[in-house]
Amino acid sequence: MHQHFLEVKGLGKRFPGKDGDLVVFENASFSLERGEFVCIIGHSGCGKSTILNVLAGLDRPSEGEVYMAGREVRGPSLERGVVFQNYSLLPWRSSLSNVTFGVRARRPGWSKAQVREHSLRYLHMVGLKDGAEHRKPAQLSGGMRQRVSIARAFATEPELLLLDEPFGALDALTRGTIQDELLKVCAETHQTVFMITHDVDEAILLADRVLLMTNGPHARVAESVRVSIERPRDRTTIVHDPAYYPIRNHLVDFLVTRSRELADRARLPEASGGDPMEPLEVDPGADARAGEPSLPPQHGRLMAVNGN
Amino acid sequence: MIQSTGIRAALLSMVLLVISLGLWELSSFKPEATEAVSEYELLMGGADQEARVPPPSDVLRLAWTELSNPFYDAGPNDKGIGIQLGYSIYRVLAGFSLAALIAIPVGFLIGMSPLMYKALNPFIQVLRPISPLAWMPLALFIIKDSETSSIFVIFICSIWPMLINTAFGVASVRKDWVNVARTHELNAFQTAFQVILPAAAPTILTGMRISIGIAWLVIVAAEMLVGGTGIGYYVWNEWNNLDLTSVIFSILMIGVVGMLLDMALATATRAVQYQE
Ligand SMILES: Nc1ncnc2c1ncn2[C@@H]1O[C@H](COP(=O)(O)OP(=O)(O)O)[C@@H](O)[C@H]1O
Ligand SMILES: [Mg+2]
């Protein structure tokens, strides 16, 4: 049987409360292939950050396991880089020094010059130059700080990159340019990415697949939606792709109505604690092209989408 | 008004200084001898004159002679002001450094571990409000050396602000920064020195600044108590000599040195300060 790069099996998180446990989410099972860009969308509080922290090894699940490249994830590792929503830069260090901090941890054997050269390359890759490398985070705009944070994560060259709503706090214009940088860097490095977002258009622009979560408590990863739009993608032309609106409508419809309906059904007494289930695979883009019902996506097509 | 606030404030300070010195000088004038001085008063060298606080001109004159030769040593009761201040500064720095050596690691431990915090907190709460001078008899009895005892008293009074600030600073390091250390697989040692120490440094240094201020307050009292050397002893000795000019001069010197110590720590605090 084919082994996935990242496998999440029956993940659940509960917090003990006065009248019974609060089950934030349960039976979350999904997988990522190497080089894949996967976004996860769900309403606030359904447990997306918790899932990401479990994947990072920063948090322990109440049940279930995570395997990366066949090995169980038990704690944080340099193989999994994290970009937090609030950037998490060390404010007493300059931008460059924040990146070298990561690179030095990753490559203890490298010389100072090597670390510096490598770090500068990634800072330039995300568009930080002209003295911004030497400024402290407090002297940078929100967009520039997030670029530093992304540069740090990419520069440590992790096998899996985890992004928790990285652009949530940015204005639309800045968000757009950094999304473009991210697309470019991912195309260059074939980075595997798991990203939380609120923004349906952002997910379609960036992702190969979008995971949809129902509302909490008792949230689940209900669907895995393939974004069958050729790469390289461009924000201005992507809306003209025939698959764009079918995918977008599917995602919006899920967020507006089905996320709640499915959650209500899951909370019925007879449904609680159901079997671990894989999310339903859907491909609204292909359905629209062929006018035929949804097919489970084949591995070959996935590779074509990734371009590798 | 082109002048900056700084220049105007300096001018105002000068004016206030001149006015207060002038008033002081005027109030210290010898009254006109209206009647014959009694024989007894003559014997005492003019009682009226002695009862008055010496004028600033006398203090300045003394300051000039003392500061032009601050390090002379003419026996146990006649040493230059520089030597006396040097003794006091040495004791403060010795006690303060010993306290830092213990307070900062222990504060780290308390800040990192809620268990240690809970276990040590009762001791800290009981020991902290004790006046440092209350330890003096016990210190003299156990240590049997007045020099070391004053250093111990400085140690005990400067340990608490550093301990409490270090614990607080370490405990309130943002969880995100600790997570950055964790995702970069830093070991405990690297996390302490590369993340927690720089993050908590401003709070720790603020504690050190409070400590050195308290230490400088306490050393004067401690030296008055144990005698021998030091600026506190000097003040008390000049009081016994009824040399009020020297008393006022040394009070001013205590203020100046205290200010310099505080400025040194303030500069260090600014050096590690960061903006979030
Ligand atoms: N310590 C805790 N005790 C109880 N509930 C918690 C605790 N931490 C998080 N939660 C709950 O877990 C849920 C998921 O949080 P989070 O993963 O941050 O959601 P998301 O990122 O999807 O907005 C939230 O509803 C929150 O209330
Ligand atoms: Mg979140």
Domains and their CATH numbers in chain A: 6-79+158-301 (3.40.50.300)
The strand pairing partners of A280, in sequence order, are: A223
CB contact under 8 A, B274 and A91: yes
Does residue B107 sit within a domain?
yes
Mutation to test the A interface, candidates B176, B178, B180, B191, most A Cβ within 10 Å = B180
Does residue B259 sit within a domain?
yes
CB atoms within 10 A of CB B127: 13
Q: Which of A86, A303, A54 is nearest to B175 (CA)?
A: A86
Chain A residues with beta carbon closer than 8 angstroms to that of B180: 88, 90
Number of Cα atoms under 13 Å in the Cβ half of residue A42: 32
How far, in Å, CA of A204 to CA of A225, rounded? 10
Q: Please list, in sequence order, all residues whose beta carbon lies within 8 angstroms of the beta carbon of residue B217, skipping any fewer than 6 positions away.
A: B258
Q: Which of A161, A215, A168, A164 is nearest to A35 (CA)?
A: A161
Residue A157, both tokens:
């060259």
Q: Please list, in sequence order, all residues whose beta carbon lies within 8 angstroms of the beta carbon of residue B81, skipping any fewer than 6 positions away.
A: B66, B67, B70, B231, B234, B249, B250, B253
pLDDT band of residue A19 (cuts 50, 70, 90) is: confident
Does residue B26 sit within a domain?
no
Looking at residues A168-184, what average pLDDT do you find?
A: 87
Does residue B269 sit within a domain?
yes
Residue nearest to atom 17 of ligand 1 (CA): A47
Does residue B213 sit within a domain?
yes
pLDDT attached to residue B211: 97
The strand pairing partners of A100, in sequence order, are: none
Q: Please list, in sequence order, all residues whose beta carbon lies within 8 angstroms of the beta carbon of residue B52, skipping any fewer than 6 positions away.
A: B28, B30
Q: What are the pLDDT digits (tens) for A225-255?
A: 999 999 999 999 999 999 999 999 999 999 9
Domain count, chain B: 1
Q: What are the pLDDT digits (tens) for B187-246?
A: 999 999 999 999 999 999 999 999 999 999 999 999 999 988 999 999 999 999 989 999
pLDDT at A294 over 60: no
pLDDT at A272 over 70: no
CB of A74 less than 8 A from some CB of B: no
Q: B148 lies in which domain range?
A: 82-275
How far, in Å, CA of A218 to CA of A261, rounded? 12
CA-based end-to-end distance of chain B: 36
How far, in Å, CA of B128 to CA of B135, rounded? 12
The strand pairing partners of A71, in sequence order, are: A68
Q: What are the pLDDT digits (tens) for A139-154?
A: 999 889 999 999 999 8
pLDDT at B23 over 80: yes
For residue B154, the domain's CATH number is 1.10.3720.10
The strand pairing partners of A68, in sequence order, are: A6, A71
Does residue B72 sit within a domain?
no
> Which residue of chain A is at minimal alpha-carbon distance from B190?
A105
Does residue B77 sit within a domain?
no
ipTM for the assembly: 0.85
Q: What is the DSSP letter of B196?
A: I
Residue A177, both tokens:
């340019």
- Which is higher by pLDDT, A307 or A237? A237
